[in-house]
Amino acid sequence: MNGLLFSGIKKLTFTETPDPTIVEAGDVILKLELAGICGSDLHPYHGREEGLDLGTVMGHEGVGTIVEVGKSVRSLKKGDRVFVPFTSNCGGCFYCERGLTCRCSSGQLFGWVEKGRGLHGLQGEYSRIPFADSTLMKVPEGVKAEEALLLGDVFSTGRFSAEMAGVSEEGTFVVLGCGPVGLASILNAKVMGATSVFAVDTIAERLEKAVLFGATAIDFKKQNVKALVLEETDGRGADGVIEAVGSAAAERLGMDLVRPGGTLCVTGVHTDKAYSFSPVEAYNKNLIYKTGRCPARYYAEKLLPLVREKRWGIDRLITHRFPLKEGAFAYQVFDEKRDACIKAVLTT
């Protein structure tokens, strides 16, 4: 098969790579139809996360059709159209039983192979999916491939973020960063009834999309974010802040914006070695700090009925489409935010 392979920092190669095969009885082989490029894919792309083996097929967001089925697979068959939450999960361990599918005792992240161990990703023509019965979800009739793809990561992470931040109808909430996850957090916050949501970014097109989703836009370069939030909240600060960037500077700003007793939710993937604030600062603010990987399989099932209602238009998060063979170029466009790119997908 052909796939988009990690070949070094800022270097991806679309080339032939071995076809995936059934390894365990619970596996299936998926023929990919659509794959997403995620902000967290940029971490190994930039070298901010070390350890990814050269030759790893990239990507952890995908929709496709099952073409081969392991002997113990019961709920799926050849020809089923499915989408892939971004980690595999066994469905029966301590963590899976509690809905924390992203920390399954046997689960793995798609698109991460280190020292020969791990799972190749979904930015290829085919992919092996372990624990298929508990990992995959069927794409219902009437649900677009793009909607299913977003359920497997971005839209689910947006709901996870909004819930962690304690979003409610009464409070004031701030989303730092209007990339795909930030925008999905705004959309979920509005779905959950939030009436006061501020969206902070510097890119006009992203702020326009945030306004379309119901937020009040703040341009970080042109406006005083802290002053505006304090004015809105009688000097207290926000009840909850969602940091969807993944940087020390954004985390620090979130700490400055959240009120005493409020929640700072850090959804952006951080690679810094320390927090941007001290333990005494957190203590003095009675800070509630929440972070972690979204259990996408759990949330995808929870949110699928909402997507089927067709009222929220989550596929508006996707701005660019490229054929898989142009994947290296697509990464450049996504990384550099060319042509107002917010979310890019690859078609096979």
Q: Say which CATH superfamily domain 158-291 falls into.
A: NAD(P)-binding Rossmann-like Domain (3.40.50.720)
**For residue 317, what are the CA distances in angstroms to 188, 200, 256, 341?**
13, 17, 29, 10
* CATH 3.40.50.720 domain position(s) in the chain: 158-291
Cα 328 to chain centroid distance, Å, stands at 20
- Locate 22 and state its tokens: 């059934």
Asked if residue 269 has pLDDT above 90, the reply is no
Q: 2-153+295-347 has which CATH code? A: 3.90.180.10
Residue 34, class by beta-carbon neighbours within 10 Å (0-12 exposed, 13-18 middle, 19+ buried)?
A: buried
Strands 288-291 and 258-266: parallel
Per-residue pLDDT band at 310 (split at 50, 70, 90): confident
Per-residue pLDDT band at 271 (split at 50, 70, 90): confident
Per-residue pLDDT band at 268 (split at 50, 70, 90): confident
Q: For residue 86, what pLDDT is reported?
A: 97
Q: For residue 216, what pLDDT is reported?
A: 98
Rounded Cα–Cα distance for residues 41 and 58 (Å): 8
Cα 194 to chain centroid distance, Å, stands at 21
Phi-psi region of 243 (alpha: psi -120 to 50; beta: other; left: phi over 0): beta
pLDDT average, residue stretch 287-299: 97
Residues 98-113 pLDDT 10s: 999 999 999 999 999 9
* CATH 3.90.180.10 domain position(s) in the chain: 2-153+295-347
Q: For residue 48, what pLDDT is reported?
A: 82
Name which of 18, 127, 143, 112 is nearest 66 in CA terms.
Answer: 127
Cα 309 to chain centroid distance, Å, stands at 22
Residues 12-56 pLDDT 10s: 999 999 999 999 999 999 999 999 999 999 999 999 888 999 999
Predicted structure pTM score: 0.96
- Locate 229 and state its tokens: 């939030």
